[in-house]
Structure 1
Amino acid sequence: MPPITLYFLGASRSIRPAWLLEELGLDYELKGAEREGQKAPQWMKDEVGGLGKFPVLKDGDVFITESGNITEYLCDKYDKEHRLVPALGDPKRYSVLQWVHAAEATFMTHSLAVLYARWSQKDGDVAKTEAGIAVNVQKDLAFFQAEIGKSKGKFLFGENLTAADIMIEFSLDFILARELGVKAQDWPKVKEYIQACQSTASWQKAQKKTGHKL
């Protein structure tokens, strides 16, 4: 099997592919670094090219970017039993992929709007701007709590981990850790879910290997 390399930027989405690689039982080389002035160090950007955003997976001579894309790639290539993403054509596949994509397209999009307002707004009332944006974050979390409440297990699709969990866990953890639109509310089911994910052997192996910490 060609060597797999994961370019891992500290305190970032990079924990997703690391967790997935551990869950799949795949060997990989870790090329990790912490941020320098809130940005990835230049040597990492030089090695991967493109936008210089992380995580990046190198499988043999192929570079794969975007954590959701990396997730689908690894599952399609190495999850032969379709344990983490159901097979092509199986209706359950698209229920799982809904969360794979929502993790970035919905949850991170709405929460990052709050963070960017804090960082970038030059005039006006930042607190009022954040409060307005936060409505979407709270709707997302309320939706998640309702959906996890329907599950017959501790994960989104029961007792068995899927790619949906591997993608959405970081989004939820990031929102709560950075208090992005959630200061006035408690989210017990979200916190319970994050704890369940982080208690898995594969997440803990990934955390230990990478040093991930928000």
Structure 2
Amino acid sequence: MLTLYFLQSSRAFRTAWLLEELGVDYELKFAERRADGSVPPELGVPTAKGKAPAIQDGNLILGESGAIAEYLIEKYDTTHRLLPTQPEKRAKIRELMWAAEGTLMLHAEGVYSARLAAPAQVAHEIEAKLAMSVQLDLDWLENTLQETSTRYIASDDVTVADTMMAFSVMDIFALKLAPAGKSWPRINEWLKIVKSGEVYQRAVKRTGHHF
């Protein structure tokens, strides 16, 4: 059986949701973060970094949520529901997948790190500048959603792009990492659809995920 190493409020929720969408049976190994935000050693994450998310599927041990998503799709999405075979659609979904981690989360973590590391006044000035990148990222996603008439980000059904991108956006909103006074109505509409999904709710119930 596949094992998912899961920390609360972590990127590992993406993997849990994807596994539920794929109908893959999995064991959940769960731990709360330590007070300093680090991974407790008793979770026993078997990757070299010792960080979640990680999976073990047979002899394969794999970290990094994007790599995990690619692997699970290649192995278990036999009907190509979550990543279609049509080259243009596949490429756009992959763009969204990797933007979720390589752009949105990267910029969001810059804002969050500035908030924690610098004295209050300095942090506020630095954070305001860094948050502009987050705003541009959300503006791009807002425009992407406005250009489509589909319920989800790239289709009328969930794709792997939703499972990757939703966590990044929810994290940004929960931690207030975007500039204040700006709204993204199409993103909020999409997130409501995501959160109301039966399989998404099943993943929340299984993992206890919350921000």
Q: TM-score, normalised by structure 1?
A: 0.94
Structure 1 residue corresponding to 2:25, chosen from 2, 24, 27: 27
**How far apart, CA to CA, are the structure 2 residues paired with 1:16 and 1:62?**
19
1:177 aligns with 2:193: no
1:190 aligns with 2:199: no
The correspondence of residues 60-139 of structure 1 with structure 2, limited to 5 A, is 60-87=58-85, 90-122=87-119, 125-139=122-136
2:29 maps to a residue whose letter is K
Work out the number of aligned pairs and report it. 210
1:143 aligns with 2:140: yes
**Where do 4+ consecutive residues of structure 1 move more than 3 Å?**
none
Task: Tell me by how many angstroms 1:184 deviates.
Answer: 2.5
Task: Tell me by how many angstroms 1:186 deviates.
Answer: 2.2
Equivalent residues of 2:2, 2:57 under 8 A apart = yes
**How far apart, CA to CA, are the structure 2 residues paired with 1:97 and 1:119?**
32
Task: Tell me by how many angstroms 1:182 deviates.
Answer: 2.9
Structure 2 residue corresponding to 1:167, chosen from 160, 164, 167: 164
Task: Tell me by how many angstroms 1:122 deviates.
Answer: 4.9
Task: Tell me by how many angstroms 1:183 deviates.
Answer: 2.2
- CA offsets 1:160-204 (integer angstroms, 9 cap, x no match): 111011100000000000000232222222222111111111111
Root-mean-square deviation (CA, aligned residues, Å) is 1.4
Gaps of 5+ in 2: none
Give the fraction of aligned pairs with identical amino acids, expressed as a percent. Answer: 39
Q: TM-score, normalised by structure 2?
A: 0.95
Equivalent residues of 1:133, 1:181 under 8 A apart = no
Task: Tell me by how many angstroms 1:51 deviates.
Answer: 1.1
**How far apart, CA to CA, are the structure 2 residues paired with 1:184 and 1:49?**
41
1:66 maps to a residue whose letter is E
